[in-house]
Amino acid sequence: MRILIAEDDQVLADGLLRSLRTSGAVVDHVANGAEADTALVTHNHFDLLILDLGLPRIHGLEVLRRLRSRGDSLPVLILTARSSWHEKVTGMDAGADDYLAKPFHMEELLARLRALLERGRTFNSAGDKASARTLF
């Protein structure tokens, strides 16, 4: 299981990295939209993307739009500021699978990621069911 986190808040990113790695995931972290875009173009081996929308250099929404315009169906959970309800709507329209408003409880994030992975597996072969089941 390989997860990409695009988040410029270092404290939040550190917490995410710690929790996800403890859960057994391999996690990459980028701190701006340009690096996120490059990582997504260069590597197609991610199973999940956690995408902050308020990213420097390239906005998270644009990162998401580019991903989807390449025909990539990678499951994406977007992180938004609590007050930016319109960003959630725009994000879902741009192809996000789920969203979470900050601040959030780590347990809720993990539960949403599990649900995303469950949904994704419906469309995959039975091959990696065992490994996905052991995550989180």
Q: Which is nearer to Ca ion, 8 or 62 (CB)?
A: 8
| Residue 56 to residue 79: CA distance in whole angstroms | 14
Task: Give per-residue burial for 88-123: e unless 16+ CB within 10 Å, then b.
Answer: bebbeebbbbbbbeeeeeeeebbebbeebbeebeee
Side-chain half-sphere CA neighbours of 78 within 13 A: 30
The least CB distance from residue 30 to Ca ion, in Å, is: 12
CB 33 within 8 A of CB 66: no
The least CB distance from residue 24 to Ca ion, in Å, is: 26
Q: Which is nearer to Ca ion, 1 or 91 (CB)?
A: 91
The least CB distance from residue 122 to Ca ion, in Å, is: 31
Which residue number is nearest to Ca ion in terms of Cβ? 54
Q: Which is nearer to Ca ion, 31 or 40 (CB)?
A: 31
The least CB distance from residue 55 to Ca ion, in Å, is: 6
- Interface contacts to Ca ion, rule CB under 5 A: 8, 52, 54
Q: Which residues contact 106 (CB under 8 A, 6 or more apart)?
A: 15, 16, 19
Q: Which is nearer to Ca ion, 52 or 97 (CB)?
A: 52
What is the rounded end-to-end Cα distance, in angstroms, of the chain? Answer: 11
Q: Which is nearer to Ca ion, 1 or 5 (CB)?
A: 5
The least CB distance from residue 12 to Ca ion, in Å, is: 8
